[in-house]
Structures are given as structure tokens and as C-alpha cells.
Amino acid sequence: MNKLYVIGIGTGNPEHMTIEAIAALNAADVVFALDKGPQKSDLTRLRKEICARFSEGEGPRWVEAESPKRDAAGGYKQGVADWHAAKGEAFAKLIRHELKDGETGAFLVWGDPSLYDSTLRILPALAADKSLAIEYEVIPGISSLHALAAAHKMTLNTVGEAVLITTGRKLAQQGFPDCAETVVVMLDGGTGLNSLAGQDLEIWWGAYLGSEDEVLRQGKVAEVLDDILATREKHRAEKGWIMDIYLLRRLA
């Protein structure tokens, strides 16, 4: 039985690596990664920098496969299901061909593996495949939610009130929910932010959290939304990608 670690590595700052995460990284013989193309080469570089900084001795082998692309033409949920299935096939191929008997593998996951990441949706089926003979352990990491709150020196919740975590797509479709005082929005391609125009909300926004490129904005939506949208597009154009998150709260 071979072991896999799913290691939360934080949001881009190597200092986010916990003692537990470093120990798991050093227990690994091989790190698996999916290459998402040249536009996101920074993400691969940061993972490799983390390995180089915290690995003892020669460190684990680095093995990449091309990342499957999601088909956005059909229905959203079916497209995601097909995408996850393709990623599962890619993971299985890596495990079969690159993980030798008795070795330990690792996946380095941005933020925390439990939150809007597909790895933990894919691995149960692979662990149930007796021909792969694997088990896995999850190492928690600092998520972008916590990095955002720390950067803005705030709490996620107001006293006694709920916090709802959602996506930009859901926010654009359903609006600010009645059931929550505070909403945290992730995975926003821009539709969520664009849907906020004219709403009486306060926003705390951050991109590239924890990294040297970190950008923060805060204020009433009516006053800062245009600046956030322009800043977001500027940085996306310069880097070819953006990772951002924001918290919304009703104005008192």
C-alpha cells in the first residue's frame, strides 16, 4: 500500500507552510503536479520554490502531466464532472507509472484542500481502486479566506451571525443571500463583481494574497468597485492569471 499526502500550502507565501506540511513534504518521494500551461507557470514555479526551500537532502522527484481542460460549452455541472473524471484518469496514470512500490507521493494544493479544490473529490475513487493500492492523508493549509481576513485585520463574522461562502457565478445568478450578514466570494471570473453595481454593501477584496504581488482594496461598493475591476484587469493582463477573493457585508 502506497501513501499519498494532499498538502495545503497556503496562498503563495512560503511562510504559510506549517510544520505538519513541511514534515509531509519531506516524507514524499515524488510530488505530482498538473501543468496548466505557460500562462500559469508562476503557480508551478511557486510550488517548486516551496519544495526547494523546505525539502531536506535531494528532496522529492517532480513529475508533471498536462492538466485536462474543462469544456465550458455544455452544462456547468456536467462539464465539471467530466473534467474531474479526466483529472482522475491523469492522477491514476501518474500513480501507476511514477509511484514505485513502497514510495510516498504528494499533491501540493493551494490554500486548504477542503475548499473549492477538486483533489479531494477525485482521490476517493482512486483509493477504492484496488489495483492502485493507495491510501491518502490530508494536511490542512492556510486558506485564502483566512489570508484575506488577516490582510484586512478583520474577523470573518459579525457577532452571532452567519458567514456564507459562495462563488462569483452563484452570486451573479442569485444575488446577495437573505440568510447571511457576510458573504465570502471565491472563484469569480468577474461576473460576481460586475453584479454588485448599485448595491449597498461594503467589500474587502484581495488578490495574490500572501505573495509579494498582494493587492488589497476596501470600502463601500459604490465607491471602490470601479477601482477593483480596473485593478483586477490590469494585474490579470500583466501576469496572465489572477487569484482573488472578497468579503461582502451589508452596510449598517
What is the SS3 string spanning 120-183?
HHHHHHHHHCCCCCEEEEEECCCCHHHHHHHHCCCCCCCCCCCEEEEEHHHHHHHCCCCCCCEE
User: What is the DSSP-derived secondary structure letter of residue 14?
Assistant: G
Instruction: Determine if the pTM surpasses 0.75.
Output: yes
Q: Are residues 113 and 156 located together in one domain of the fold?
A: no
pLDDT surpassing 80 at residue 38: no
Range of the domain at 69: 2-139
User: What is the DSSP-derived secondary structure letter of residue 116?
Assistant: S
pLDDT surpassing 80 at residue 170: yes
Domain boundary among 139, 161, 182: 139
What nine digits make up the cell of 135?
491510501
pLDDT surpassing 80 at residue 16: yes
- CB 179, CB 162: distance < 8 Å: yes
Q: Are residues 237 and 153 located together in one domain of the fold?
A: yes
What is the pLDDT averaged over residues 110-126? Answer: 95
Give the C-alpha separation, 119 to 16, whole Å. 20
Share of the chain above pLDDT 70, in %: 100
Please report, for the domain that includes residue 181, its CATH number: 3.30.950.10
Q: Are residues 29 and 132 located together in one domain of the fold?
A: yes
What is the pLDDT averaged over residues 6-32? Answer: 96
pLDDT surpassing 90 at residue 74: no
Q: Are residues 61 and 111 located together in one domain of the fold?
A: yes
What are the distances in angstroms from CA 246 to CA 96, 142, 144, 232? 40, 16, 9, 12
Q: What is the pLDDT of residue 56?
A: 92
What is the pLDDT averaged over residues 163-172? Answer: 96
Q: What is the pLDDT of residue 141?
A: 98
Q: What is the pLDDT of residue 153?
A: 98
Look at the chain and report how many structural domains it folds into: 2
pLDDT surpassing 90 at residue 174: yes
